[in-house]
Amino acid sequence: MHFGRGGRRLNKLVHASAMVIPNMDHEVLNPATRQRVAALC
């Protein structure tokens, strides 16, 4: 998803936040990747 420069469109979603996860691809179909993402949430 793209939230505009500096994430400015994300400001409209008051209960949402964004995180940049290094070395993460777009897909989270791999079970190990899903576990990594879930651990960060």
Q: Per residue in 1-41, pLDDT tens?
A: 678 887 788 888 888 777 777 777 676 778 887 888 888 87
The pLDDT value recorded for residue 31 is: 84
pTM for the complete prediction?
A: 0.43
Where do the H-state alpha helices sit in 1-41? 31-40
Domain containing 9: what range?
A: 5-40
The pLDDT value recorded for residue 1 is: 66
C-alpha distances (whole Å) from 2 to each of 18, 22, 30, 31, 41 are 11, 17, 23, 25, 19
Polymer length of the chain = 41
Token digits of residue 11: 């400001």
The pLDDT value recorded for residue 8 is: 81
